Amino acid sequence: MFRSAESVEKLINVLARLPGIGRKSAARLAFHILKVPKEEALELAEAIQDVKEKVGFCSICFNISEEDPCYICTDPSRKHDVICIVEEASDLAALEKAEGYNGLYHILSGRISPLDGIGPDDLKIKELLGRIGEDTKEIILATNPDVEGEATALYLAKLIKPMGVRTTRIARGLPVGSDLEYADGVTISRALEGRQEI
Amino acid sequence: MFRSAESVEKLINVLARLPGIGRKSAARLAFHILKVPKEEALELAEAIQDVKEKVGFCSICFNISEEDPCYICTDPSRKHDVICIVEEASDLAALEKAEGYNGLYHILSGRISPLDGIGPDDLKIKELLGRIGEDTKEIILATNPDVEGEATALYLAKLIKPMGVRTTRIARGLPVGSDLEYADGVTISRALEGRQEI
């Protein structure tokens, strides 16, 4: 039976727990880490430690941040009366990179997913409702356009609308640069439903 | 402009240097590391540090090992008169997992690749020739069946054969479970050339 050095096996096991990395990729990464100069490998170890020590969550929007509140919540040039709700901090990063939005965010830290045992109480919904005040003009629901994301958006809309705040959902339709011929049926239906005057 | 926490950016940059991991995957991994409990993330950091501290190379076959010589070179139940030459320690792992070989190994630590500036002197060839003695019965060339691997095998065969040692090359042909219809032409040609009586 093949046995690798114990510490190598351990590294492979830990790497294989990362998302999208199976045992084969984990082994490849482990062998790469073995090959590179010691400083380069330790830089990765330190970056991981650093991130866990320095980075926390913004107590207002739950964005990942080294400061609290985060730089978005404290930015006076942003619109503080619009809140965009996303599932994860990585979604916030995607929206910010698109540079089309200038309001605040609220990160739910997940989405309602009964199959995974995640209910509304596991998300930052209470904190969201606490943020919505008289001066809040709009809540944009930017959860993912999949089954769980849609369900979460609907659930939130039912809670927020009665508070008298304008509640919107990001548009679902054909991605820019795509080809109608290869689009799936649900996306085409959504694109038709969401059609607008030009 | 979007800016993430500095330590997160740093982690993404370091992760993106790993093989097969682009910036998007690196960001996904970084956000995952941010989400998991601190102990789980630190376990990864420690596994990396551990591997770089404990693991070295076997001074005989250059396998990665926590001991020197490695457990393969010191195993009395293995045939010490057959040496299988591979490019990397990960190739040794693949051969050992197949469980069809019971001899020793020699890891070249690369292959001859002039385009990457890697010549014979950069590999553990001198050390290999030093290992071949009067009692060596066979050298199996198990470098990869691609251009550089074949060139390296040919180069080694020219050095080893004059020493009077039987030198063999692993068979190239159709992989087990594959379909002739979808095999590439070079592989089919090799499979025909290497045909055997049944």
Tens of pLDDT, residue by residue over A168-197, are 999 989 888 888 888 888 888 888 888 887
Let me know whether A50 and A88 are in one domain: no
Q: Which two tokens stand for residue A179?
A: 């080809």
In a 3-state reduction of DSSP, which class is residue A49? helix
What tokens does A118 get? Answer: 């995640």
Distance CA(A147)–CA(B93), nearest Å, equals 42
**Which of residues B174 and B2 earns the better pLDDT score?**
B174
Both tokens of residue A5?
Answer: 């050095």
Residue B182 maps to a domain:
yes
Matching residue, tokens 């993404």: B12
Whether residues A100 and A160 fall in one domain: yes
Cα separation values, B47 from A46, B20, B43, B172, Å? 12, 20, 6, 37
Name the β-bridge partners of A75.
Answer: none
Residue A64, in any domain of the structure: no
What pLDDT is stored for residue B195 in this prediction? 84
Residue A163 is assigned to a structural domain of this protein = yes
pLDDT of residue B102: 92
Q: How much is the average pLDDT of A18-43?
A: 91
More confident residue, A97 or B138: B138
**Does A60 reside within a domain?**
no
- Tell me the pLDDT band of B189, cut-offs 50, 70 and 90: confident
Assess: ipTM above 0.90.
no
- B42 to A52: CB separation less than 8 angstroms, yes or no: yes
Q: Amino acid identity, residue B160?
A: I
Predicted confidence (pLDDT) at residue A130 exceeds the cutoff of 80: yes
Contact B5 A55 (CB under 8 A): yes
- Cα distance between residue B45 and residue A109, in whole Å: 24
B62 in a domain, yes or no? no
Taking the C-alpha atoms of residue B194 and residue B186, their distance in angstroms, rounded to an integer, is 12
Burial label for A108, CB within 10 Å (0-12, 13-18, 19+), is buried
Band of pLDDT at residue A2, cut at 50, 70 and 90:
low
What pLDDT, on a 0 to 100 scale, did the predictor assign at position A156?
Answer: 96
Pick from A65, A88, A97: CB nearest B5: A65
The average confidence (pLDDT) of chain B is 91
Taking each helix axis from N to C terminus, what angle separates B38-54 and A6-15, rounded to the nearest 10 degrees?
Answer: 150
pTM confidence score: 0.72
**Same domain? B104 vs B134:** yes
- Is the Cα torsion angle A47, A49, A53, A55 positive or negative in sign? positive
Nearest residue in chain A measured CA to CA from B54: A7
| Residue percentage of chain A with pLDDT more than 90 | 66
Contacts with A96 (C-beta within 8 Å, 6 or more apart), sequence order: B2
Q: Nearest-CA neighbor of B41 among A22, A18, A89?
A: A18
Helix axes B23-35, A89-98, angle to 10 degrees: 140
Residue B170 is part of which domain span? 75-197
Q: Is residue B61 part of a domain?
A: no
**How many domains would you assign to chain B?**
2
Nearest CB to A55 within list B8, B15, B49: B8
Q: How close does chain B come to A86, measured CA to CA in Å?
A: 14
Residue B78 has pLDDT above 60, yes or no: yes
Nearest CB partner across the interface for B32, out of A10, A18, A65: A18
- Same-domain pairing of A153 and A95: yes
Q: At what angle do helices A23-35 and A6-15 cross, to 10 degrees?
A: 130
Across residues B45-65, what is the average pLDDT? Answer: 92
Gap from B163 CA to chain A (nearest CA, Å): 31
Contact A33 B48 (CB under 8 A): yes
Residues of B in contact with A51 (CB under 8 A): 5, 7-8, 10-11, 30, 33-34, 41
Confidence band (pLDDT; 50, 70, 90) for B155?
very high
pLDDT given at position A97: 85
Question: Which distant-in-sequence residues (6+ apart) come within 8 Å of B108 by Cβ?
Answer: B62, B85, B86, B87, B88, B123, B124, B125, B128, B143, B152
pLDDT at B3: 66
Asked if the Cβ–Cβ distance from B93 to A27 is below 8 Å, we say yes
Nearest residue to A81 (alpha-carbon basis) of A165, A168, A164: A165
Mean pLDDT is lowest, of A29-33, B49-53, B63-67, B189-193, for B189-193
Instruction: Work out the minimum CA distance from B127 to partner chain A, whole angstroms.
Output: 19
Per cent of chain A over pLDDT 70 is 98
Q: Which of A158, A159, A141 is nearest to A150 (CA)?
A: A141
Phi-psi region of A86 (alpha: psi -120 to 50; beta: other; left: phi over 0): beta
Whole-number Å distance between alpha carbons of B85 and B144: 10
Residue of chain A minimizing CA distance to B43: A14
Q: What is the phi/psi pair of residue B102, to 5°? A: -130, 25
Q: Closest partner residue to B6 among A32, A43, A66, by Cβ?
A: A66
CATH number of the domain that residue A108 is part of: 3.40.1360.10
* pLDDT class of B184 with cuts at 50, 70, 90: confident
Q: Does A29 contact B43 at a Cβ distance shorter than 8 Å?
A: no
pLDDT band at residue B97 using 50, 70 and 90 as cut-offs:
confident
Q: Are residues A32 and A128 in the same domain?
A: no
Indicate the DSSP class of residue B83.
Answer: E
Q: How confident is the model at residue A1 (pLDDT cuts 50, 70, 90)?
A: very low
Q: What is the pLDDT of residue A143?
A: 93
Residue B153: the pLDDT is 94
Q: Kindly list the residues from chain B whose CB atom is less than 8 angstroms away from the CB atom of residue A97.
A: 2
Task: State the best of A1, A3, A4 to mutate against chain B, taking most chain B CBs within 10 Å.
Answer: A4
pLDDT band at B1 (very low <50, low <70, confident <90, very high): very low
| Same-domain check for residues B111 and B27 | no
Shared domain for B103 and B43, answered yes or no, is no
B49 & B93 share domain: no
Please give the pLDDT value at position B186: 86
pLDDT of residue A192: 86
What pLDDT is stored for residue A3 in this prediction?
A: 66
Task: Clarify whether residues A118 and A81 are in a common domain.
Answer: yes
C-alpha to C-alpha distances, A85 to A11, A103, A145, B2, nearest whole angstrom: 37, 11, 13, 17
Residue B2 binned pLDDT confidence (cut-offs 50, 70, 90): low
